[in-house]
């Protein structure tokens, strides 16, 4: 990454810089991406507050990486404890190590570490939860601090409710009724309090990043959006992996043992299959459920797995390993090409941030707000809507000429966007200066071309001159293609 990025470390996504910018402002006493207005661009409640603890540090940008590496080791530690608990001394240490290592692939562990996002912490909390559940099933021993883990997991990602609520019901039927009711209160109360906080500062009850994924951001009905999202998720092989685990665990329902556990896990899987609407989006929204369901599957089929891997030829084990590699081939792809993906962020989003902060030095509008808002000392208008609730309203109601309206409202003249995202909205009187073009084959950015527009045609010559200077500094593989005058 350092080599490709001329000595600059970059995460493999633009999104972590949204959290860094938000965390920096939280440390300053303001909840929002821009100091002039409140906003809720993060899907995670707790993650920006964790990062805010480190905001004064000189190496603040590295904090997500450092934390994720530590959390990554924590994941392997608790998975290893679960595997040892399941198999005891019935298989060798080497075979246990092989099984544990497979989780590096199916959890998308290293790509998620380099992404700089909160998903590694989400998976860690999930790993802790499933280990404690196995302790209860196998040794009839419950660590009551599981309630705190359940609460924290939902504060890290809302979708962890698909695990948390069924688990609390599971504890209730296992006889821990007061504890499960306390856990339900501790889980839901902070979520409600945060929603009230957002409402009090003039925002919606949910973060805008959550709203964007729902029917509130669309003219379609909730049911239509749900069907579209399921259809999208079903394009990924990993969706069928999860469906397969659901079927295999369901088969075990005929056996009376572990009945509540099976029902609980199946409920969580069904919720993920139906409402886990962003399966396949850089493979970061579904992996927590893969870990959860896979560990339980191994527990329920431990005798079959033990026989398979004890075979001297290990033919079945080899077939299973090859199937895992095939199903999770995209995870492996992201693992291998992480440096190139980091370079695509450096070559496009970081270059936009440099131009905005060091050359243009004024308010700008973008559709990917992370790096530009993090480095730009001036206002950065989010035309996609993550940090601007007005944009969501404009796009949902399809207000005429809303892009011009909101750009004028925030005194934004320069716009840097993906054209394909705004085909029906782009004002015809904006002047295109040119496009920042990225040549990378292994990009994690959404589009290879970012179009640069000015609202005031009288400023086009001045902006063009700045871009001509800027274009001389662009890294290899990136060029600015000027539009014909």
pLDDT in tens, 300-315: 999 988 887 776 566 7
How confident is the prediction for the chain on average, in pLDDT? 92
Query: What is the structure's pLDDT at 277?
Result: 62
Distance CA 450, CA 367 (A): 10
Query: Taking CA 38 as the corner, what is the angle to CA 57 and CA 186, rounded to the nearest 5 degrees?
Result: 80
Tell which residue, 431, 384, 427, has the closest CA to residue 402: 427
CB 154 within 8 A of CB 187: yes
Cα–Cα distance between 346 and 102 in angstroms, integer? Answer: 31
pLDDT at site 307: 81
Averaged over 71-81, what is the pLDDT? 97
- Secondary structure of the chain as H, E, C letters: CCCCCCCCCCCCCCCHHHHHHHHHHHHCCCCCCECCECCCCCCCCCHHHHHHCCCCCCCHHHHHHHHHHHHHHHHHHHHHHHHHHHHCCCCCHHHHHHHHHHHHHHCCHHHHHHHCCCHHHHHHHHHHHHHHHHHHHHHCCCCCCHHHHHHHHHHHCHHHHHHHHHHHHHHHHCCCHHHHHHHHHHHHHHHHHHHHHHHHCCCCCCCHHHHCCCHHHCCCCHHHHHHHHHHHHCCCHHHHHHHHHHHHHHHHHHCCCCHHHHHHHHHHHHHHHHHCCCCCCCCCCCHHHHHHHHHHHHHHCHHHHHHHHHCCCCHHHHHHHHHHHHHCHHHHHHHHCHHHHHHHHHHHHHHHHHHHHHHHCCCEEECCCHHHHHHCCCCEEECCCCCCHHHHHHHHHCCCCHHHHHHHHCCCCEEEECHHHHCCCCCCCCEEEEEEEECCCCCCCCCCEEEEEECCHHHHHHHHHHHHHHHCCCCCCEEEEECCC
Report pLDDT for 145: 93
C-alpha 112 chain-centroid distance: 8
CA distance 367 to 373: 11
Of 149, 144, 143, the residue nearest 178 (C-alpha): 144
Share of the chain above pLDDT 90, in %: 74
C-alpha radius of gyration, the chain, whole number: 24
8 Å CB contact between 448 and 437: yes
Structure confidence at residue 476 (pLDDT): 92
pLDDT per residue as tens digits for the range 368-408? 999 999 999 999 999 998 898 888 888 877 788 999 999 99
Straight-line distance from the first to the last Cα atom of the chain, in angstroms, rounded to the nearest whole number: 37
pLDDT at position 263: 96
Q: What is the pLDDT of residue 193?
A: 97
Kindly report the number of other CB atoms within 10 A of residue 186's CB atom.
16
Q: Name the phi and psi angles at 441, rounded to 5.
A: -85, -20
Tens digit of pLDDT for each residue in 334-377? 999 999 999 999 999 999 999 999 999 999 999 999 999 999 99
Determine the pLDDT at residue 243.
94
Residue 235 pLDDT level (bands cut at 50, 70, 90): confident
Whole-number pLDDT of residue 306: 85
Query: What would the two tokens of residue 409 be?
Result: 């409202």
Q: Is residue 343 a contact partner of residue 1, using CB atoms and an 8 Å limit?
A: yes
pLDDT at 316: 66
d(Cα 103, Cα 80) in Å, to the nearest integer?
Answer: 10
Write down the pLDDT at residue 214: 65
Closest CA to 290 of 74, 71, 126: 126
Return the pLDDT at 278.
62
The pLDDT of residue 72: 97
Q: Is the pLDDT of residue 261 over 70?
A: yes
pLDDT value, residue 281? 65
Q: What is the pLDDT of residue 153?
A: 96
Give the tens place of pLDDT for each residue, 428-478: 999 999 999 999 888 889 999 999 999 999 999 999 999 999 999 999 999
Does pLDDT of 5 surpass 60? yes
pLDDT digits (tens, 9 = 90+) for 26-53: 999 999 999 999 999 999 999 999 999 9
pLDDT at 236: 85
Query: Distance between CA atoms of 280 and 273, rounded to whole angstroms?
Result: 12
The residues, ordered by sequence, that sit 6+ positions from 86 with a Cβ below 8 Å of its Cβ are: 134, 138, 295, 298, 299, 302
**Residue 379: per-residue pLDDT:** 95
């Amino acid at each position: 990454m350092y080599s490709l990025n001329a000595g600059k470390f970059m995460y493999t996504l633009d999104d972590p810089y949204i959290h860094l910018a938000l965390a920096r402002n939280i440390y300053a006493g303001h909840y929002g991406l821009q100091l002039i207005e409140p906003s809720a661009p993060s899907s995670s409640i707790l993650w920006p507050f964790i990062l805010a603890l480190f905001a004064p540090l000189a190496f603040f940008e590295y904090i997500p990486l450092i934390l994720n590496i530590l959390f990554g080791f924590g994941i392997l530690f608790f998975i290893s404890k679960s595997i040892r608990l399941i198999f005891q001394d019935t298989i060798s240490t080497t075979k246990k190590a092989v099984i544990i290592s497979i989780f590096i692939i199916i959890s998308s562990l290293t790509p998620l570490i380099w992404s700089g996002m909160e998903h590694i912490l989400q998976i860690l909390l999930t790993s802790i939860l499933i280990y404690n559940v196995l302790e209860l099933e196998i040794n009839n021993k419950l660590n009551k601090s599981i309630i705190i883990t359940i609460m924290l997991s939902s504060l890290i990602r809302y979708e962890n409710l698909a695990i948390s609520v069924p688990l609390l019901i599971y504890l209730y039927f296992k006889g821990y009724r007061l504890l499960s009711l306390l856990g339900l209160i501790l889980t839901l109360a902070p979520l409600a309090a945060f929603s009230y906080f957002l409402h009090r500062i003039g925002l919606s009850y949910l973060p805008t990043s959550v709203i964007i994924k729902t029917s509130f951001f669309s003219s379609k009905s909730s049911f239509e959006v749900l069907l579209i999202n399921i259809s999208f998720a079903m394009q990924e092989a990993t969706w069928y992996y999860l469906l397969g685990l659901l079927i295999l665990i369901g088969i075990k329902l005929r056996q009376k043992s572990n009945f509540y556990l099976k029902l609980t896990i199946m409920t969580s899987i069904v919720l993920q299959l139906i409402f886990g609407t962003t399966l396949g989006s850089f493979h970061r929204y579904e992996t927590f459920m893969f870990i959860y369901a896979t560990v339980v599957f191994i527990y329920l089929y431990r005798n079959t797995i033990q026989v398979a891997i004890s075979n001297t030829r290990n033919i079945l084990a080899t077939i299973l390993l090859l199937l895992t590699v095939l199903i999770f081939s995209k995870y492996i792809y992201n693992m291998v090409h992480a440096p190139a993906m980091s370079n695509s962020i450096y070559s496009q989003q970081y270059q936009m941030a440099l131009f905005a902060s060091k050359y243009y030095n004024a308010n700008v509008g973008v559709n990917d707000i992370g790096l530009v808002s993090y480095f730009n000392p001036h206002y950065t208008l989010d035309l996609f809507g993550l940090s601007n609730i007005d944009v969501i309203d404009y796009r949902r109601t399809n207000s005429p000429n809303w892009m011009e309206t909101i750009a004028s409202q925030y005194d934004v003249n320069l716009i840097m966007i993906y054209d394909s995202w705004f085909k029906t909205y782009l004002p015809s009187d904006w002047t295109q200066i040119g496009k920042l073009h990225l040549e990378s084959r292994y990009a994690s950015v959404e589009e290879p071309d970012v179009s640069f527009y000015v609202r005031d045609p009288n400023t086009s010559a001045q902006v063009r001159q700045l871009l001509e200077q800027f274009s001389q500094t662009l890294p290899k593989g990136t060029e600015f293609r000027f539009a014909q005058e």
